[in-house]
Amino acid sequence: MSEKTTAQDGTSDTNADTTEKTTTNGIAKAAPASSLSAKERDEIATLPYEEARDRLIQSVQALEAGGLNLDQSMRQWELGEALAKRAQTLLSEVRAKLDAAQAQQESSADTAGTQSNLD
C-alpha cells in the first residue's frame, strides 16, 4: 500500500507502508515499521558481547553529538535498541551459567574433601 504526500516544497513523495502484519491467536496486528533490515537484525543477533557494546556506544555517541535529521536519529535509536537487547541477552546467558555453576559448587561443597567425594 502506498500513500502519496506533498512535501513542504510542493513536490510529491510516495511512501510505501513498511509495517508488517503479524498474527497472534488469529488476530492480525500491525508491527511497527523499522529502518533496520532483516539482514542487519540477523547480523546483530550474532555479535559477540564486546562488539555489540562497542557499536551501542557509537550509536549513543552519534545521538548525543546531534546534527542528525529525524530519520537518522530514529535509525540510530533503533540500532541502539537492537544492540542493547543483544548485549543484555548475552549478559543474561552468562549470569544464568554463573548461577548454575555456583549452585553446583554449593551442592558439592558438602562432600568436598571427604571420603565420599573420592568414591
pLDDT digits (tens, 9 = 90+) for 43-92: 999 999 999 999 999 999 999 999 999 999 999 999 999 999 999 999 99
Cβ-contact 90, 49 below 8 angstroms? yes
Cell of 63: 545521538
Residue 74 CA to residue 35 CA, distance in Å, equals 8
Residue 86 CA to residue 50 CA, distance in Å, equals 11
Of 33, 76, 36, nearest to 56 (Cα)?
76
Percent of the chain at pLDDT above 70?
64
Exposed, middle or buried by CB within 10 Å (0-12, 13-18, 19+), for 70?
exposed
Tell which wins on pLDDT, 103 or 13.
103
pTM, 2 dp: 0.63
HSE on the CB side for 13, CA within 13 Å?
A: 8
